[in-house]
Amino acid sequence: MGLQKVAHRHLDYDKAASAIFTEPEIADVGLAEAEAFAEGRKIRVTKVPFSATPKALINNDPRGFVKIISDPATGVVLGGSIVGRHAAELISVIALAVTANLKVTDIVESLLVHPALAEALAEAAE
C-alpha cells in the first residue's frame, strides 16, 4: 500500500503512552491522578502491587505496581501508570482501553495468560 492511500488521522497526544526505561521501568498513559485532583475531578483509583501476581514471584522481582484511573460513574478507563518489569509493554493494554473508551469491566473480562505480569492489570481493574 502506498502512502497516498493512507488516510490522515488525528492523533490525540493526551492519550499517548510514555515510558522511562529505568530499572524498574516507569510508564503512564492518559489522565494522571494528580491532574485529576488538580481539576477537582472525581475518579476511582485502584492500585495493585506486582507482588500479588504469581509471575512476579516466579521472576523473583516483586517490585512495582499497576494503577488504573477510571470514571467512578461509568467505569471508563481514563488513565493509568505502571512501575516495574516490562512496564513499557504492559502500559499498551491501558493505552488501548483509554483510546477505545473501554470500561474496567472490559479488562476484567479479558482472558489473560497465566502466569503473567498482565494479571495485575485485571486485578487493578476490579
Cβ contacts of 43 within 8 Å, gap of 6 or more: 31, 33, 36, 69, 70, 71, 72, 78
The SS3 of residue 10 is coil
pLDDT at 1 over 50: no
* Structural domains in the chain plus CATH codes: 30-125 (3.30.390.30)
pLDDT digits (tens, 9 = 90+) for 25-49: 999 999 999 999 999 999 999 999 9
Given this model, what pLDDT does residue 42 score?
Answer: 97
- How does residue 2 score in pLDDT terms, banded at 50, 70 and 90? low
Given this model, what pLDDT does residue 78 score?
Answer: 98
Cβ contacts of 76 within 8 Å, gap of 6 or more: 70, 101, 102, 103
Report strand pairing: 44-49 vs 65-70.
Answer: antiparallel
Given this model, what pLDDT does residue 11 score?
Answer: 78
The active-site residue, picked from 8, 10, 86, 114, is 114
pLDDT digits (tens, 9 = 90+) for 80-90: 999 999 999 99
| DSSP letter for each residue of 62-112 | ---EEEEEE-TTT-BEEEEEEEETTHHHHHHHHHHHHHTT-BHHHHHTS--
pLDDT digits (tens, 9 = 90+) for 61-109: 999 999 999 999 999 999 999 999 999 999 999 999 999 999 999 999 9
10 is a catalytic site residue: no
Supply the Cα-derived Rg of the chain in whole angstroms: 15
